[in-house]
A and B are shown apart, each in its own frame.
Chain A
Amino acid sequence: DAGITQSPRHKVTETGTPVTLRCHQTENHRYMYWYRQDPGHGLRLIHYSYGVKDTDKGEVSDGYSVSRSKTEDFLLTLESATSSQTSVYFCAISAGVSEKLFFGSGTQLSVL
């Protein structure tokens, strides 16, 4: 398995609180992605990174920010969590844009 660690694996938080999810990789891959998975929607891209300090928005980026200060770490922050952000969040990595994605095990986030 690709070396991808997501933390925490599960989190319950209250509306309005900030939340940060971490993705750590040991593969030295250039590209890192944050997806959310919701029933009936498949996976939707939130943000992605194509290098240290290089990030861009995906299709559902509102309410989320990201940072990548090191190749191995990609952080996803919900500045003020809302109930609509209750979801399973997956980090993925790839060596190139046309290369296959390797996925982490996911973070189950519940916003009450």
Chain B
Amino acid sequence: AQSVTQLDSHVSVSEGTPVLLRCNYSSSYSPSLFWYVQHPNKGLQLLLKYTSAATLVKGINGFEAEFKKSETSFHLTKPSAHMSDAAEYFCVVKGGSNYKLTFGKGTLLTVNP
């Protein structure tokens, strides 16, 4: 069994300030973890992916995430928010070798000027 919890449904930051989007997971297997971003009226786009090669994963557009097994967390961060980062972000867990992905309920990021 696997599950993912995004701890904040909405995060609001000012442009130029750091971003932190929190994600906790559970999995019976060594998990693969993903962050996807969805801009308004668009499909989802992969930001980054963890598959056990390195605990700190760098993604596109300056985002990164750190896998912490002891805390079962995979939080997404960015040092300085841009207006274009305003979107909904989904944390996703995949356990084992099957197809099944479990999506979090999403965190809406608002960036204020």
Contacts and interface: CB of A to CB of B under 8 A. Distances in A.
Interface in B48-94: 49, 51, 90, 94
B51 to A, nearest CB: 7
Given A103-B44, A105-B43, A40 B105 contact: yes
A30 B63 CA distance: 29
A99 B38 CA distance: 19
Interface stretch (A11-19, A41-49, A63-71, A78-86): A41-49
A75 B36 CA distance: 24
The main secondary structure of chain A at its interface with chain B is: strand
A50 B100 CA distance: 12
Given A42-B106, A98-B32, A98-B94, A103 B101 contact: no
Contacts of A48: 99
Contacts of B100: 45
Nearest to A90: B43
Contact of A31 (B46, B97, B99): B99
Contact of A106 (B36, B43, B98): B43
Contacts of A50: 99
Given A48-B99, A97-B97, A100-B34, A41 B105 contact: yes
Interface of B: 32, 34, 36, 41-46, 49, 51, 90, 94, 97-101, 103-106
Interface of A: 4, 31, 33, 40-45, 48, 50, 56, 90, 92, 97-98, 100-101, 103-106
10 contacts: A4-B43, A42-B103, A44-B103, A97-B97, A97-B98, A98-B97, A100-B46, A105-B43, A106-B41, A106-B42
